[in-house]
């Protein structure tokens, strides 16, 4: 295998309308919704950093400026915290400080679909491999999900996507794999289809919101072909890479919470609170009242 280009870039699309969370998302970005005390976007950035990602591109849209502010230095806040000797709170802010120049934003003026959002990052991606993290998929795992993909990329080269098995009756909500060879943790992919009818789905292995892709996907997305739901689908662009480049699914080890969905979001709150020593006993106690 020729030497692989290192994986240093990540694209995080945050330009969606978040209609399932209206009215909460009328004036506020869905990606700023907190799970316990961290906004969804911060979990995604932290996860990417754990995988060695150094450059970040947020695909933003109208009403998303709070996300950019979140990663800026809050100078007055920090000074006030320092004056009040709030060291623990200051440490929280400083731990999330971004390296100057490591985060750029690109505007997707009209949310035409995930594939279109990724195409908007084409100058940032240039000719390098890149990760994609959809912040509304929240991961809880020992090894960062993006790190699991980055490790698989070093093994296989080419494109790798995180996958999950779902009950057959739910496959029509996801991008679905057509499997060439199932090797356990890794699955060699021979096709991909976005939101297939249940009786036409090639498997129940579905793509979740973490990817490592080769820059050639941009050329396919540039054709702006509309797929499922009349949107430019990333799945369709990725499908065109198969046959020309390696394409693998990685059975991700850990839990995934679909925080774009109200029930998934609530479950994430409980799961993450139960992992916190300062909260778990009280949360366990109050949960008894509801079961």
Q: Which residues are near ligand UTP by CB under 6 A? A: 13-20, 30, 59, 108, 111-114, 116-117, 134-136, 260
Instruction: Please state, in angstroms and rounded to a whole number, the distance separating the CA atoms of residues 19 and 26.
Output: 8
Q: By C-beta, is 59 or 201 nearer to ligand UTP?
A: 59
Instruction: Please state, in angstroms and rounded to a whole number, the distance separating the CA atoms of residues 107 and 97.
Output: 23
Name beta bridge partners: 179.
189
Contact 105, 68 (CB under 8 A): yes
Least CB distance to ligand UTP at residue 72 (A): 20
Q: By C-beta, is 117 or 214 nearer to ligand UTP?
A: 117
Q: By C-beta, is 43 or 157 nearer to ligand UTP?
A: 43
| Closest listed residue to residue 161, CA positions, set 173, 177, 142, 172 | 177
Q: By C-beta, is 173 or 181 nearer to ligand UTP?
A: 173
Q: By C-beta, is 61 or 158 nearer to ligand UTP?
A: 61
Least CB distance to ligand UTP at residue 277 (A): 30
Instruction: Please state, in angstroms and rounded to a whole number, the distance separating the CA atoms of residues 115 and 222.
Output: 9
Least CB distance to ligand UTP at residue 28 (A): 12
CB within 8 A of 191, min separation 6: which ones?
177, 178, 202, 239, 242
Least CB distance to ligand UTP at residue 208 (A): 11
Instruction: Please state, in angstroms and rounded to a whole number, the distance separating the CA atoms of residues 60 and 82.
Output: 32
Contact 177, 21 (CB under 8 A): no
Least CB distance to ligand UTP at residue 85 (A): 38
């Amino acid at each position: 295998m020729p030497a692989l280009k290192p994986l240093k870039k990540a694209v995080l699309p945050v330009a969606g309308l978040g209609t399932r969370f209206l009215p909460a998302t009328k004036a506020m970005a869905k990606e700023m919704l907190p799970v316990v005390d961290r906004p969804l976007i911060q979990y995604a950035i932290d996860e990417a950093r754990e995988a060695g990602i150094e450059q970040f591109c947020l695909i933003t849209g109208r009403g998303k400026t709070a996300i950019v502010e979140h990663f800026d230095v809050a100078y007055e806040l920090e000074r006030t915290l320092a004056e009040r000797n709030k060291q623990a709170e200051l440490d929280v802010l400083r731990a999330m400080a971004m390296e100057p120049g490591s985060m750029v934003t690109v505007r997707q003026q009209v949310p035409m679909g995930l594939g279109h959002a990724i195409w908007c990052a084409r100058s940032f991606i240039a000719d390098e491999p890149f990760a994609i993290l959809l912040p509304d998929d929240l991961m809880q795992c020992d090894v960062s999900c993006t790190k699991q993909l980055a490790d698989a990329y070093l093994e296989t080269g080419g494109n790798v996507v995180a996958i999950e098995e779902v009950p057959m009756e739910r496959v029509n909500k996801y991008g679905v794999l057509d499997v060439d060879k199932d090797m356990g943790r890794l699955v060699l992919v021979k096709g991909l289809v976005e939101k297939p009818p249940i009786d036409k789905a090639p498997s129940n292995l579905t793509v979740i919101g973490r990817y490592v892709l080769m820059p050639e996907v941009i050329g396919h997305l540039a054709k702006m072909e509309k797929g499922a739901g009349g949107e430019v689908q990333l799945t369709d662009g990725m499908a065109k890479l198969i046959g020309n480049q390696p394409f693998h699914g990685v059975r991700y080890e850990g839990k995934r919470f679909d925080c774009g969905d109200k029930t998934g979001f609530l479950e994430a709150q409980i799961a993450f609170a139960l992992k916190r020593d300062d909260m778990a006993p009280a949360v366990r106690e109050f949960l008894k009242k509801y079961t």
